[in-house]
Amino acid sequence: MPVMLFHAGFRQFSGGVDVFFVMSGYLITTLILTELALGRFSLSDFYERRARRLLPALFLVMATCIPFAWWLLPSNEMKDFSKSLVALSLFASNIFFMRDTGYFVPAAELKPLLHTWSLAVEEQFMSCFRCFSCSPGAWVENGWWRCWHAWPP
């Protein structure tokens, strides 16, 4: 809610994204630790629930933006929009938009998927967290693939 109020012009509501990351990290970690304590954590179940919660809204946003972008954006910006769709599909939109900055780039208002960078950061963090949560000994002894799928250790 504070993020929406900030973008609606109420400048006293700032700090939305960092609050989002803290709350999201806390909730996800609490969920994982609770399921681990109960002995019923499953990585595949975790990602299945996450996909069922996030992907329908993400696909709706993408499907809604496509016709408006087709109708409203000039051809060069439509090309950039198409690239952002690909980056979003790979959960790399943060990297795409970071590289797509500069003096001569279109305004943020002409990048309808710009807000998806935070979802990409979250997914990348979760993947890296899995890698770093395995001990170096597990990497050497079992190989990275087993360590990746055995998370949490």
Kindly report, residue by residue over 59-91, the tens digit of the pLDDT. Answer: 999 999 999 999 998 888 899 999 999 999 999
pTM of the model: 0.69
pLDDT at site 143: 54
Write out the two tokens for 123. Answer: 């997914």
Kindly report, residue by residue over 5-33, the tens digit of the pLDDT. Answer: 666 677 666 666 777 778 888 888 888 88
Please enumerate, as own/partner, the contacts of 122-126 that have beta carbons within 8 Å and a separation of 24 or more: 122/21, 122/24, 123/91, 124/91, 124/92, 124/94, 125/25, 126/28
CB atoms within 10 A of CB 125: 14
Q: Choose the most confident range, by mean pLDDT, from 19-33, 49-63, 93-107.
A: 49-63
Q: Is 89:63 a contact under the CB 8 Å cutoff?
A: no
